[in-house]
């Protein structure tokens, strides 16, 4: 008889606690999803021509001007720009355009000659035409 009582007690504990655990798990899940959605972002790397540290500043700040850009880093050695952005607010083509508008050729978009020509002498990178 004793064992039967213990078993009944155990079953009641499980029955009472299951909904509590479920609620806790659901709550945790939805908070996680919300936080995750908030930081939804995309990172991409593409080629951008350029020469020096000044080019780096110009390229990075041209891209960062847009609020949808979370971070932008141009590598002087590899000539690659790595951008992290909010894909709901900007797309990769627009980011290429921002770089080209500043006078720098990208993998996809060439800068206009007049903008390129107005770059400081040290920044006049060799164009791949």
Q: Round to whole Å and give the CA distance between 42 and 90.
A: 10
Residue 123 Cβ vs Cu ion, minimum distance, rounded to whole Å: 3
Which of 102/123 has CB closer to Cu ion?
A: 123
Q: Which stretch binds Cu ion (CB under 5 A): 38-46, 90-98, 101-109, 117-125?
A: 117-125
123 near Cu ion, judged by CB under 5 A: yes
9 touches Cu ion (CB under 5 A)? no
Q: Are 115 and 103 in contact (CB under 8 A)?
A: yes
Q: Report the alpha-carbon distance of residue 14 to residue 10 in Å, rounded.
A: 6
Q: Is 52 in the site for Cu ion (CB under 5 A)?
A: yes
Our finding on whether 7 is near Cu ion (CB under 5 A) is: no
Quick check: 55 binds Cu ion (CB under 5 A)?
yes
Nearest CA among 124, 126, 93, 97 for reference residue 110: 97
| Tokens representing residue 53 in the block | 């540290």
Tell which one of 42, 51, 80, 101 touches Cu ion (CB under 5 A).
51
Nearer to Cu ion, 76 or 107 (CB): 76
Nearer to Cu ion, 41 or 73 (CB): 73
Is residue 67 within a helix (H) or strand (E), and if so which, with residue range? none
Q: What angle do CA 91, 92, 94 make, to 5 degrees?
A: 70
Q: Under the rule (CB under 5 A), what is the footprint of Cu ion?
A: 51-52, 54-55, 123
């Amino acid at each position: 008889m004793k064992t039967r009582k213990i078993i009944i007690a155990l079953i009641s504990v499980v029955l009472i606690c299951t909904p509590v655990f479920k609620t806790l798990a659901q709550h945790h899940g939805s908070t996680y999803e919300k936080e995750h959605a908030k930081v939804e972002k995309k990172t991409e790397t593409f080629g951008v021509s350029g020469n020096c540290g000044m080019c780096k500043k110009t390229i990075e700040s041209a891209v960062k001007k847009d609020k949808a850009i979370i971070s932008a880093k141009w590598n002087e050695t590899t000539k690659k720009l790595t951008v992290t952005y909010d894909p709901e607010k900007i797309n990769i083509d627009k980011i290429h355009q921002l770089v080209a508008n500043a006078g720098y050729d990208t993998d996809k978009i060439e800068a206009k000659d007049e903008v390129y020509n107005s770059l400081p002498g040290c920044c006049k990178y060799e164009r791949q035409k």
